[in-house]
Every structure is written in C-alpha cells, then in structure tokens.
Amino acid sequence: MDDVKALFTEYLQNHLNFIEEKGYIVLKPKEFLGSENFAKVIAIVKGAKGEYVSAGKESHFRIPLETEGSKPTLAPLEELHRMVMDFKNHTEKEFEKIIKKIGDLKR
C-alpha cells in the first residue's frame, strides 16, 4: 500500500482514505475533491492501471494490488494529458446536462 500512497502528493493523501480490499487498494475521498483534484487523482489512478468506480455516495477509485515483481507505474505524460482532457470533456457534458435540468425545473 505504501507504493500506491507514494504516487500521490501529501496534499492528495490527506484527502483520501486508502483501504486494502479484495485485491485492490481502494481510495475513498474524505470529502468532495473538486474537479481539479479529481482530475489529478484519476490521472494517477489510471496511470497505475486503476479505475474510478461510480457508485453514488460509495464512488471510489481502485488500483489493483501489485502482482509478484510488479509495482504501479505512471503512464507517459501524453497519456496522462489525454486522460485529463477526456475527464474535462466528460465533466463539461455532465455540467451542461445539469444546467439544462435546472432550466427545465424553472419552467
């Protein structure tokens, strides 16, 4: 687990709970991360071959436990940039949907 924690800045570590669970290191935010910190976390998680699990209040990140002789590694900078941009585009689309729903409620 220390290898996974070491991938994150101290600031991000302080905003996440790290739990070993069913072959994964599960990272649960202690509070709302905001889009900038979320983007940083997801980039690191994906670079370590992990994923984000969207499950409402139980949403979390997870990174597979290392297999024999392997350690999490970061993806090349270009790959991280692509992942952050994908997340940004997804977030903007979701934000537009929310704004539209609010507008529909006002009618």
- 49-88 pLDDT, tens per residue? 999 999 988 999 999 986 544 555 555 677 777 778 888 8
**Sequence ranges of the domains in the chain:** 2-106
Provide the pLDDT for residue 52. Answer: 95
Question: What is the average pLDDT value for the chain, to the nearest integer?
Answer: 86
| Alpha-helical segments (H) within the chain | 2-5, 10-13, 34-47, 77-106
Domain covering 2-106 in this structure, CATH number: 3.30.1360
β-strand partners of 28: 17
What is the side-by-side strand order in the sheet with 60-64?
16-21, 24-29, 60-64, 51-53
